[in-house]
């Protein structure tokens, strides 16, 4: 596809900024109000996933747990031929094997996945996750600053933090489970969504070399032109990864469902932010620089 | 014609190598526990006695000892690795009686000799372990595999044990002459005989009212290797084999569907260059599996996810290149010079955008544990490979075709004549 008509992204970015700001505020409110729905990875306890040959109900599982004395703090969520049970306390080895035996009474083909995380470990995993996000961002800032200039780096970082936060916000609003793989997804989005931004920035940089941009209009036109030139490229590259993530979400293994969903959401926001957030932000920073030039030689026409 | 011949030979050789090596290649990929079933435990090690430190040496010894135990229990290829200063990660696959193995692994089977020296005066309620609070000898002080079943003077089964440092034992027995020296297996007291004489031969005996079987069991437990450190489970994951297999099948299936859609998209969008990109992608996938087999990396579920996402990322390079070529054609350049310029100028963009992903991958690898590391590793390897296959290799194939004169019409690049701006 090739558009003859050029879109005015500078104009459209105003609406996009408002949209993103509203979503950010909603995300902050959601985070403050209900926080995140942490999995055992970050809040300690045990998570049991059981694959069964038939469907079971909560009422069937509860008494089995009560019998072993672990029924009190269990959250049972049955699914299609599977059941998930979460315990806020870590299961001991004995409880672990008792639980397996009990559920195998229901269905002897039951296959389990049990994750147990101790509170110290949960804290550590959480801390490492935050470190990873911070260090990744610093690494990207340094790299983009070296290859481009700080205005590009700053705009790119704001855009990718925006992408990451949007995913977190949506997971908070919809109470989706946040596990270690979620952090992996957020980090991958941080690393990947900037690709699109860089492709566009690269073009802006290239176009900047061709002419002298004297006025704000010149700059705005240059940006519009650059984004239009790269539009399909940006969308296609995001689309191929989106396909991969989307099919993973649809058909992939249960334990990476939330990971794939986070990727899908992040990719959409990544493509959106490269065009509507990162590029206009760069323009904004560039404007700030321009008035100086104007002040030196005011036009006295 | 020479170029066309080169192109055909390169493609045929690549296809040939892939066809020849692929059967059996997939079976040789080492699968993680989350895919083949098994369990993984992260232990944190603490010294047996307070005030002591966990040394690198003792940690390694503990890991070795765990590995020995796992092997004794007949598990296949147990993996024991030390992490940081005080952690040991244990991975065991394909276990039928998991509870038993787990118990045996953690069971410190730590033999200690303890005395009541300097302890609080005991009363009737004092537990044995509080009564004998001073540890005189720990598991590592005893000769490995040195426990055996013997018989006492009264022909009752006893367990004979040997102490490594005879002098030390002699000093202890001398000091405790006439006092009890309790023998503990973990926190359970086996016996608390009174020291009757200074023992200089480094031999000790555990007696009690044991049957021969009981005595044998205790001696086996002791021989299983006393762990020099106390272990607590920090994190554990156990996956049933059926569940693992299901995850593997489903995820690979979704990956194949996704890849096919991506290939169709590329061909529909870019025609012949799209077919070349698809070929590059197939070579890419094959190469990635090859690297995994050669380097003996373990493929985990998040690893497969990275693999599949990476396929989508790898074609990005082709999209960027082909879009650039189209743009050059639209600007009125000849196909030949457009391809040349497109290949050249897109390279920098592609490298720039991939390096950021590698940075994040490296951070994940450094900070991540188990599954996260697996994901990061695949991501990094895949991006590096994609630069080879979907940048250099496809650029090369494309130039061959152009030079051979097979690609000379803008239409073959999906550019309409009407879109071309006359110079």
pLDDT tier at B261, thresholds 50, 70, 90: very high
Specify whether B304 is located in the same domain as B320: yes
Cβ burial, residue A77 (10 Å; 0-12/13-18/19+): exposed
Q: Is residue A285 within 8 Å of A21, Cβ to Cβ?
A: no
Which of A176, A144, A179 is CA-nearest to residue A160?
Answer: A144
| pLDDT at residue B262, as a whole number | 95
Average pLDDT over residues A256-276: 93
* pLDDT of A300: 41
Q: Taking Cα atoms as reference points, which of A35, A36, A255, A42 lies closest to residue A128?
A: A42
Residue B315 sits in the same domain as residue B303:
yes
- In whole numbers, what is the pLDDT of chain A averaged over residues? 86
The domain boundary, picked from B207, B235, B263, lies at B235
Q: For this complex, say whether ipTM is above 0.90.
A: no
Among A195, A202, A237, select the one facing B356 at the smallest CB separation: A195
Name the residue facing A93 among B103, B330, B364 (closest C-beta): B103
**Residues 16-45 (B) with a CB less than 8 A from some CB of A:** 34, 37, 42, 44
Q: What is the DSSP letter of B413?
A: G
The reply to whether residue A118 touches residue B235, judged by beta carbons under 8 angstroms, is yes
CA distance A92 to A98: 10
Q: Is A253 at the interface with chain B, CB within 8 A? A: yes
B411 touches chain A (CB under 8 A): no
One domain, residues B195 and B303: no
Chain B from 235 to 274: CB within 8 A of any A CB: 235-244, 246-248, 250-251, 253-255, 257-259, 261-262, 265-266, 269
The rounded radius of gyration (Å) of the Cα atoms in chain B is 33
If asked whether residues B366 and B261 sit together in one domain, one would say yes
The mean per-residue pLDDT over the stretch B341-358 comes to 88
Together in a domain, B301 and B415:
yes
Closest CB to A237 among B103, B319, B369: B319
Same domain, B185 and B208: yes
**Using CA atoms, how far apart are residues A222 and A233, in angstroms rounded to an integer?**
18
* Domains: count for chain B: 3
pLDDT in tens, A218-227: 888 899 999 9
pLDDT at B387: 92
Residue in A97, A121, A248 closest to B305 by CB: A248
CATH number at residue B90: 3.30.70.3400
- Confidence grade of residue B257 (pLDDT, cut at 50, 70, 90): very high
Domain stops at, among B235, B270, B292: B235
Band the pLDDT of A60: cuts 50, 70, 90.
confident
pLDDT band at B100 (very low <50, low <70, confident <90, very high): confident
B12: CB partners within 8 A, 6+ apart: none
Q: Are residues B378 and B293 in the same domain?
A: yes
pLDDT of residue B228: 72
Q: What is the pTM of this model?
A: 0.80
Mean pLDDT over A196-220 rounds to 86
Asked if A253 lies within 8 A of B367 by C-beta distance, the reply is no
Provide, rounded to the nearest whole percent, the portion of chain B with pLDDT above 70: 94
Q: Which candidate from A111, A139, A256 shows the least CB-CB separation from B305? A: A256
Mean per-residue pLDDT, A192-197: 87
Is 90 exceeded by the pLDDT of residue B383? yes
- B192 compared with B316, residue with greater pLDDT: B316
Indicate yes or no: CB of B309 within 8 angstroms of CB of A96. no
Q: What percentage of chain B reaches a pLDDT higher than 90?
A: 23
Q: Which two tokens stand for residue B212?
A: 């021969």
Answer whether B107's CB lies under 8 Å from B139's CB. Answer: no
Q: Are residues B203 and B307 in the same domain?
A: no
CB neighbour class for B225 (10 Å; exposed up to 12, middle 13-18, buried from 19): buried
pLDDT at residue B394 tops 90: yes
One domain for residues B316 and B344: yes
Domain with B126 in it: what CATH number? Answer: 3.30.1360.200
Q: What is the DSSP string of chain A?
A: ---SSPP-HHHHHHHHHHHHHHHHHHHHHHHHHH--EE-HHHH-EEEEEEE-SS---HHHHHHHHHHHT--TTEEEEEETTEEEEEESSPPPHHHHHHHHHHHHHH-TT-EEEEEEE-HHHHHHHHHHHHHHHHHHHHHHHHHHHHHS-HHHHHHHHHHHHHHHHHHHHHHHHTT-EE-HHHHHHHHHHHHHHHHHHHHHHHHHHHHHHHS---SHHHHHHHHHHHHHHHHHHHHHHHHHHHHHHHHHHHHS-GGGHHHHHHHHHHHHHHHHHIIIIIHHHHHHHHHHHHHHHHHHS----
A240 inside 8 A of chain B by CB = yes
State the pLDDT at residue B332. 87
Show the domain range for B248. 2-33+240-419
From B203's Cα to the closest Cα of chain A, the distance in A is: 36
Chain B window 344-363: which residues touch A at a Cβ cutoff of 8 Å? 348-349, 352-363
pLDDT score of B96: 67
Give mean pLDDT, residues B172-182: 82
Has residue B185 got a pLDDT over 80?
no
Q: Do B369 and A125 touch (CB under 8 A)?
A: yes
Residues in chain A closer than 8 A to B308 (CB atoms): 244, 247-248
Nearby residues of B373 by Cβ (< 8 Å), 6 or more positions away: B364, B365
> Are B349 and A245 in contact (CB < 8 Å)?
no
B287 in contact with A at a CB cutoff of 8 Å?
A: no
| Same domain (yes/no): B129, B89 | no
pLDDT digits (tens, 9 = 90+) for B46-71: 887 777 788 888 888 888 878 877 77
Answer yes or no: do B260 and B371 share one domain: yes
Q: Would you call B258 helix, strand, or coil by DSSP?
A: helix
Whole-angstrom distance, CA of residue A295 vs CA of residue B98: 77
Average pLDDT for residues A278-286, to the nearest whole number?
91
Residue A109 sits at the chain B interface (C-beta within 8 Å): yes
CB contact under 8 A, B316 and A237: yes
d(CA A140, CA A161): 11
- Strand-pair partners of B82: B88
Contact B258 A112 (CB under 8 A): no
Min Cα–Cα distance to chain A from B239, Å: 4
Residue B385 has pLDDT above 90, yes or no: yes
H-type alpha helices, B113-211: 128-131, 166-175
Of A51, A125, A132, the CB nearest to B364: A132
Q: Residue A235 pLDDT > 60, yes or no?
A: yes
**Whether B99 and B166 share a structural domain:** no
Q: What are phi and psi of A86, to 5 degrees?
A: -115, 135
* Residue B74: pLDDT band with limits 50, 70, 90: low
A 181-210: CB under 8 A from B: 181, 183-184, 187-188, 190-192, 194-196, 198-199, 202
**A1-27 pLDDT tens trace:** 555 677 888 888 889 999 999 999 999
Of A249, A269, A272, nearest in space to A261 by CA: A249
Q: How confident is the model over A146-155, as pLDDT tens digits?
A: 888 889 999 9
- Domain boundary among the residues B171, B192, B224 is at B224
Instruction: Write the CATH number for B350.
Output: 1.20.1640.10
What is the per-residue burial (b if ≥16 Cβ within 10 Å, else e) of B291-307?
ebbeeebbbbbbbbbbb
Nearest to B262 among A51, A232, A243 (CB): A243
The widest CA-to-CA distance across chain A, in whole angstroms, is: 91
What does the mean pLDDT of chain B come to?
Answer: 84
- pLDDT the model gives residue B124: 67
Ramachandran category for residue B155: left, alpha or beta (phi over 0 → left; psi -120 to 50 → alpha): left
pLDDT of res. B232: 83
């Amino acid at each position: 596809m090739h558009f003859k008509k050029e879109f005015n992204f500078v104009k459209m970015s105003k609406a996009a900024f408002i949209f993103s700001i509203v979503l950010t505020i909603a995300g902050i409110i959601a985070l403050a109000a209900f926080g995140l729905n942490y999995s055992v990875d970050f809040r300690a306890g045990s998570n049991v996933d059981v694959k069964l040959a038939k469907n079971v109900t909560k009422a069937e599982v509860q008494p089995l747990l009560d019998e072993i004395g672990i029924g009190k703090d269990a959250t049972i969520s049955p699914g299609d031929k599977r059941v998930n049970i979460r315990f806020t306390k870590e299961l001991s080895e004995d409880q672990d094997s008792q639980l397996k035996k009990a559920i195998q009474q229901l269905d002897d083909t039951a296959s389990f996945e049990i994750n147990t995380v101790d509170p110290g470990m949960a804290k550590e995993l959480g801390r490492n996750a935050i470190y990873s996000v911070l260090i990744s961002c610093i690494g990207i800032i340094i790299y983009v600053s070296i290859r481009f200039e700080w205005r590009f780096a700053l705009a790119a970082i704001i855009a990718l933090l925006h992408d990451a936060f949007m995913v977190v916000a949506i997971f908070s609003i919809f109470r989706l489970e946040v596990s270690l793989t979620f952090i992996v997804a957020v980090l991958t989005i941080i690393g990947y969504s900037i690709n699109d931004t860089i492709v566009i920035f690269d073009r802006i940089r290239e176009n900047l070399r061709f002419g002298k941009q004297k006025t704000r209009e010149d700059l705005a036109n240059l940006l519009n032109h650059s984004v239009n030139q790269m539009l399909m490229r940006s969308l296609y590259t995001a689309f191929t990864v989106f396909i991969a993530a989307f099919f993973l979400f649809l058909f992939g293994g249960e334990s990476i469902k939330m990971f794939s969903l986070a990727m899908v959401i992040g990719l959409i926001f990544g493509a959106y932010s490269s065009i509507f957030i990162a590029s206009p932000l760069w323009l904004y920073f560039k404007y700030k620089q321009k008035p100086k030039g104007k002040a030196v030689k005011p036009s006295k026409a | 014609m020479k170029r066309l011949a080169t192109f055909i030979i390169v493609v045929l050789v690549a296809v040939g190598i892939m066809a020849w090596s692929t059967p059996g290649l997939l079976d040789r990929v080492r699968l993680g526990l989350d895919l083949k079933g098994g369990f993984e435990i992260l232990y944190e090690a603490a010294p047996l006695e307070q005030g002591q430190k966990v040394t690198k040496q003792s940690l390694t010894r503990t890991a070795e000892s765990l590995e020995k135990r796992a092997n004794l229990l007949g598990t296949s290829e147990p993996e024991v690795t030390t992490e940081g200063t005080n952690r040991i990660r244990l991975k065991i696959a394909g276990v039928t009686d998991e509870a038993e193995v787990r118990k045996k692994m953690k069971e410190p089977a730590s033999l200690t000799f303890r005395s009541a020296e300097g302890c609080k005066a005991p009363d009737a309620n004092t537990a044995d372990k509080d009564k004998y609070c001073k540890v005189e000898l720990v598991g590592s002080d005893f000769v490995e595999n040195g426990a055996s079943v013997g018989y006492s003077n009264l022909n009752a089964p006893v367990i004979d044990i040997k102490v490594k440092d005879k002098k030390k034992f002699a000093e202890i027995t001398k000091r405790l002459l006439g006092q009890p020296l309790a023998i503990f297996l973990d926190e359970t007291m086996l016996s608390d005989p009174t020291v009757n004489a200074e023992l200089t031969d480094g031999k000790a005996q555990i007696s009690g009212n044991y049957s021969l079987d009981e005595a044998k069991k205790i001696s086996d437990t002791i021989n299983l290797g006393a762990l020099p450190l106390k272990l607590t489970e920090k994190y554990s994951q156990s996956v049933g084999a059926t569940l693992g297999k299901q995850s593997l099948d489903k995820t690979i299936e979704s990956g194949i569907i996704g890849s096919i859609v991506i290939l169709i998209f590329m061909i529909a969008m870019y025609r012949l260059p799209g077919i070349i990109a698809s070929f590059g992608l197939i070579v890419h996938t094959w190469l990635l599996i090859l690297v995994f087999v050669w380097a003996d990396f373990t493929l985990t579920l998040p690893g497969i996810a990275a693999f599949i996402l990476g396929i989508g990322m790898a074609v990005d390079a082709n999209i960027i290149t082909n879009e650039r070529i189209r743009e050059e054609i639209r600007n009125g350049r000849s196909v030949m010079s457009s391809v040349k310029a497109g290949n050249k100028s897109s390279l920098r963009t592609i490298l720039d955008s991939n390096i950021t992903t590698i940075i994040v991958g490296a951070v994940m690898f450094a900070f991540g544990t188990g599954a996260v590391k697996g994901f990061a590793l695949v991501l990094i390897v895949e991006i590096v490979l994609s630069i080879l296959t979907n940048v250099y290799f496809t650029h090369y194939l494309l130039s061959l075709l152009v030079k051979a004169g097979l690609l000379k019409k803008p239409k073959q690049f999906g550019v309409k004549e009407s879109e071309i701006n006359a110079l």
